[in-house]
Copies of this chain bind each other. A is one copy, B any other.
């Protein structure tokens, strides 16, 4: 008798491999589907000119947020913003969302009203309409599922897979702040657990705490690129950390990359807090995640336009796939880039 194979636990695979393994049989040759599973959003042709973008994200209590230091209004806002960010990453504009909640009975109506106040604030900020959803009981915690729909002109659509050798690697805004904000919040939570009488000390951390609790989708960047007449060759939003996103771009585009650690833009509060926490600032920026900035590649011809714009920083360039993917440090040493982003399943 053949012995049965033991069942494999999902922690054996990371999030990305798990999705890949489960959806392997699903690839379609339907011509309307320009981009299916595996980008920030799906892209479906509506007509000759217009492409619909669809993206969906789950936020789970205890995995993506800690109610102990996350105000519900901020949570609602962030839940919408991170979805809008996926549409921005395709160079498009979000238009509609659906919001579904699975809620345990410990939640009060007032908490949910706060959550929806945050959702509404984000709808106003990003010019979105809430068109549907589902609300149900759950035995545990709170799970928020948001799906966002947007549009982009066919000629403006940017995916993860268009980067070419010699293209320049660009990032919007600054990085590492959301991660350092999380470190501060986690520290104050530990202090509070030890002595609930002590008020949290968040003075001087306002920027990085806002980066963690109320991130913005870079919808403005999509508008700026349009005005500058620059169409990125590839783009992704930074949710899991710069390193992880660079690896995604390279894998989808079949290219290598040199990223220069020294060039990664960081706010002084992020740098100072990193040093105080004994964390290398570049490590925070490379692996921190949740900054929701846009990472994209441009052709060499667009160098000057992008270089002279204060919203953007050029941090590297794309190379031949065979050359590999490297982080070049201050001393000029090349280290193979590894993703050490969020690993929820471990």
Contacts and interface: CB of A to CB of B under 8 A. Distances in A.
Contact of A56 (B13, B23, B116, B132): B132
Interface in A1-43: 7-13, 15, 18-19, 21-23, 25-26, 28, 30, 33, 36-37, 41-42
A55 B132 contact: yes
Given A37-B133, A54-B131, A63 B139 contact: yes
B63 A136 contact: yes
A139 B105 contact: no
A112 B133 CA distance: 25
A204 B72 CA distance: 50
A137 interface: yes
A164 to B, nearest CB: 26
A46 B46 contact: yes
A331 B103 CA distance: 43
Contact of A44 (B11, B96, B140, B141): B96
Contact of A10 (B10, B100, B112): B112
B136 A15 contact: yes
A116 B64 contact: no
Nearest to A41: B132
A49 to B, nearest CB: 11
Contact of A108 (B7, B63, B344): B7
B105 A345 contact: yes
A105 B10 contact: yes
Given A8-B110, A145-B58, A344 B19 contact: no
Most buried by B among A19, A26, A36: A26
A206 interface: no
Contacts of A337: none
A59 to B, nearest CB: 8
A256 B66 CA distance: 47
A149 interface: yes
A120 interface: yes
Contact of A100 (B26, B56, B129): B56
Contacts of A100: 56-58, 145
Given A12-B109, A44-B96, 20 more contacts: A10-B105, A10-B109, A19-B135, A22-B135, A26-B123, A28-B130, A37-B131, A42-B98, A54-B147, A56-B98, A56-B132, A56-B134, A57-B134, A63-B136, A63-B138, A100-B145, A136-B344, A137-B344, A139-B141, A140-B141
Interface of A: 7-13, 15, 18-19, 21-23, 25-26, 28, 30, 33, 36-37, 41-42, 44, 46-47, 54-58, 60-64, 96, 98, 100-103, 105, 107-113, 116, 120, 123, 129-141, 143, 145, 147, 149, 344-345
